[in-house]
Structure 1
Amino acid sequence: MKLSIIGTGYVGLVTGTCFAEMGNSVICVDIDKNKIEKLKNGIIPIYEPGLSEMVERNYQKGTLNFTTDIKEALEKSDIVFIAVGTPQGEDGSADLQYVLAVAKDIGRHMNHPVIVVDKSTVPVGTADKVRETIKKELDKRVENKEITPGEYEDLLQFDVVSNPEFLKEGDAIADFMKPDRVVIGADNHKSMGVLKELYAPFTRNHERFIGMDIKSAEMTKYAANAMLATKISFMNEIARICEAVGADVNKVRVGIGSDSRIGYSFIYPGCGYGGSCFPKDVKALEKIALDNGVKPKIIRAVEEVNKEQKLILSQKVINRFGEDLSDKVFAVWGLSFKPETDDMREAPSITIINELTKRGAKIKAYDPKAMEEAKNFYLKDNKNIEYTENKYDTLNKADAMLLITEWKEFRSPDFYEIKKRLKNPIIFDGRNQYNKDKLEELGFEYHQIGVGS
């Protein structure tokens, strides 16, 4: 099939590349000329395992191309995916300006009927807005005599469908190539059939294609992310209670996760969730509810708990060393919001580091992939941070070590080396990754999340 993907961010680039991998002809479009030139030269703007090799392979084969010319892309496409950003607005809602800007461009330049697919995470009712926006542009073209009434009637056969994404950063290629579900919202049976055919190579081993109406599909994305965020915040709240009563949340997690109705996924206590999806989507869903006369008590609490949880690890440090940290140095392992990505958006490390440095602390930080993002964007104004080439160099003469992101290379470190380099053998573990008994045997002072004294 012939596809255009408008937007070469995380979702757009992964989507376009995976469709190209299955033999489709894909054109990825972006207004950023610099980004498009880099993509043509094999320079990928994001870190995602396996993506760089797949982009290069399909670009060389000619199944994947990049352009800034949306008109050219539309001429060569039968299906157009909108995969631009929907940043959070000041009121918490999803900002649709980029989605609707693409819809305008589609209306201005389409020269044959296309299926327009909302891939961006958008509020319920967005498909209607996209359809109205495209039609308005077609109306203008008739008024300006750019197209004839007959051509207008033909172009009006375009359709808009919803296809929310469920990609996990760090495992996006596997998620797309072997999805646990493909959700399509469409009111037109023909469009539903085309999308089912497009996704057939990804769902051959098991029927994972779920068709529904458009508004339900739009809602499914928000509901899924809010549910996962709820599990995380629930477990973090349980962790706080465990600390207060003297219980061990790690044992509680095993005890409840063995129940198949609950399961082990997303019940690991920690220092809060981050990323581009959960924080934004939870807030957007809250706004959707309020706009429609529903008080979202649970959803609101999920975000409140998460905000507080991001302060837990820094508070443990402050409780141990005092409010004045001007003579202290702390080693930080992990900056990205989760492993296997360089994404720093809403990362707990930002809150933790800022809380410590505003009290005078110096930070030595290491992350396998996210240090450039931290330096240039999210922590660029914080002058109390030094970035090191490897995890052990952060430890030199530091007063304690903080584990924030659970990268694989942090799982089985040399604890003798850690102890030798630290000024004090103290570890604050924001992901409950290590064995408490073992560390205490080695002479460490070990602080976890949700473990009472």
Structure 2
Amino acid sequence: MGQQQLNVCVVGAGYVGLTTGVCLAYLGHQVTCIDKDREKIDMLLAGRAPIYEPGLEDLLRLANARLKFTTSPEACRHADVIILAVGTPPTPNGNADLSFMEAAAAEVAAQLTGERFQVIVNKSTVPVGTAQRVNLIITTAIASRGGSANFAVASNPEFLREGVAIHDTLYPDRIVIGSASNEAINMLRVMYAPILEQTFAAPKVCPRPERFDLPALVTTDVTSAEMIKYAANAFLAMKISFINEIGGLCEKVGADVTEVARGIGLDKRIGPRFLQAGLGWGGSCFGKDTAALIRTAQEYGYDMPIVSATVSVNRRQRLRAIDKLQETLKVVRGRTIGLLGLAFKPDTDDLRDAPALDIIRVLLEMGARVKVYDPVALENFKIQYPNLAVEPCKNASELSQDCDAVIIVTEWEEFRHLPLAELAEKMTGAKVLIDGRNIIDRQDAEKAGLRYVGFGR
């Protein structure tokens, strides 16, 4: 029996929505991506992705025949599944801003006719209770016009990592579906069948991992599904903050945190992932989700000291780069400091909550001259932060010219293979290399004439 093809609408063609929509189209479904941003839609219609994600434009071309892009929500009328993947940015008090989600739910409600059963999926990361809120918005809107409801709301959180989002979509550890409707769960099971059974032909841009185990399907209630997402991100953030805290003690006692991480990571109960000490985490997920989790707990009068400490340790870790500059250069004012990497992680142009931004601001306040280079995110940086008075560079060699110190902020692959001797020759003064991601061998750096400073080493 062949795969059942569904008609899917994705509301929001941002990072999560676009990746999800393109992958579902590649798997054989008919997909329409809806976004209010006309410029973004025009780019997609021209076959260009508005975000940087390895392999996305290749997959976009492969799935082109089953993809549509529009600014109109009318396509929702004929969809079997409507995926809400709009932004939920943080508010000043830590809550998630649900205005985009609620507006999307209202627009979808206006398109539902009740002639067919439809599943409304919350794909965005949202606080506990949002599925009920979306259900209420849609039910109220339908009742106000005298229509009949024939839909169910499901929570289907995403677990995508920027830079490997296609891999995480096609080869996930698990797929979580929360709904009170068995019909909704069954429809989403059909939608994800090619992934759950791995029956699709793996694209060349993202081959199937060797000995890949079939993903687990977790079906639960909507509240538990919403909590799973927050709990997962909080735990991963905690793991990074933990190894950074251990790294601080390693510096005091003379241990090497990379060796400690390797030793504890071999314990299957712990595992090696997310144990890389350095400048800490950034991006749109960990900070926002830990803040939302803490805020939700406060609303119930519940204290979460471990998650709160996770955030505090990460905030402190970014400023450790400044501490290390002061320890080696003594005086930062008037010095030239180079930053290698602006994006919060490699293989993305995303600058949201990037450690580089905090480091740049502090260095400028201290009176330093700041030079920056990033292989992908530099243009985004120029557009988004035109008031940060830094000197953009074309490559690491240009950046190192006349620098007193260079900080590796993002672990781009090309930074693992820096021409260390060339950098040392162009640098001045103490020639300090602060390895904010522990990706350079100390002996190689010192042999090249650099004063190497790692994290937790």
State the TM-score bracket (shorter-chain normalisation).
over 0.9
Q: TM-score, normalised by structure 2?
A: 0.93
> What does 1:89-128 correspond to in 2, within 5 Å?
89-112=91-114, 113-128=117-132
Q: Does 1:392 align with 2:394?
A: no
Instruction: Give the equivalent residue in structure 2 for 1:135.
Output: 139
Code of the residue aligned with 1:392 in structure 2: it is S
* Dislocated runs of 4+, deviation >6 Å: none
CA contact (8 A) 2:173 2:215 kept: no
Instruction: Give the equivalent residue in structure 2 for 1:47.
Output: 52
Instruction: Give the equivalent residue in structure 1 for 2:450.
Output: 444
Partner of residue 256 from structure 2, selected from 239, 244, 248: 248
Match of 2:275, SS state, is coil
Query: Could you list the runs of 5+ residues in structure 1 that have no partner in the other structure?
Result: 143-151
Partner of residue 382 from structure 1, selected from 388, 392, 397: 388
- Tell me, in whole angstroms, the C-alpha distance in 2 between the residues paired with 1:89 and 1:367: 29
Q: TM-score, normalised by structure 1?
A: 0.93
- Tell me, in whole angstroms, the C-alpha distance in 1 between the residues paired with 2:123 and 2:373: 34
Q: CA deviation at 1:136?
A: 1.2
- Tell me, in whole angstroms, the C-alpha distance in 2 between the residues paired with 1:320 and 1:188: 61
Partner of residue 357 from structure 2, selected from 326, 350, 354: 350
> What does 1:185-334 correspond to in 2, within 5 Å?
185-205=178-198, 206-326=214-334, 328-334=335-341
Q: Does 1:36 align with 2:29?
A: no
Instruction: Give the equivalent residue in structure 2 for 1:149.
Output: none
Count of aligned positions: 434
Match of 1:160, SS state, is strand
Code of the residue aligned with 1:194 in structure 2: it is M
Partner of residue 170 from structure 1, selected from 163, 168, 179: 163
- Tell me, in whole angstroms, the C-alpha distance in 2 between the residues paired with 1:443 and 1:33: 52
Instruction: Give the equivalent residue in structure 2 for 1:160.
Output: 153
- Tell me, in whole angstroms, the C-alpha distance in 2 between the residues paired with 1:324 and 1:443: 21
Instruction: Give the equivalent residue in structure 1 for 2:211.
Output: none
Q: CA deviation at 1:207?
A: 4.6
Query: Could you list the runs of 5+ residues in structure 2 that have no partner in the other structure?
Result: 1-5, 199-213
Closer/same/farther in 2, CA of residues 373 and 273 from structure 1, 3 Å limit: same
Partner of residue 407 from structure 2, selected from 399, 402, 422: 402
Instruction: Give the equivalent residue in structure 2 for 1:83.
Output: 85
- Tell me, in whole angstroms, the C-alpha distance in 1 between the residues paired with 2:257 and 2:397: 29
1:105-141 CA distances to partner (integer Å, 9 max, x unpaired)?
A: 1112212341100000011111100000001111221
Q: CA deviation at 1:381?
A: 1.1
- Tell me, in whole angstroms, the C-alpha distance in 2 between the residues paired with 1:74 and 1:248: 55
| More moved, 205-214 vs 188-197 | 205-214
Code of the residue aligned with 2:380 in structure 1: it is E
Code of the residue aligned with 1:159 in structure 2: it is A
Match of 1:350, SS state, is helix
Instruction: Give the equivalent residue in structure 1 for 2:209.
Output: none
| More moved, 241-250 vs 305-314 | 241-250
Q: CA deviation at 1:439?
A: 2.3
Q: CA deviation at 1:20?
A: 0.3
- Over aligned residues, Cα RMSD in angstroms? 1.3
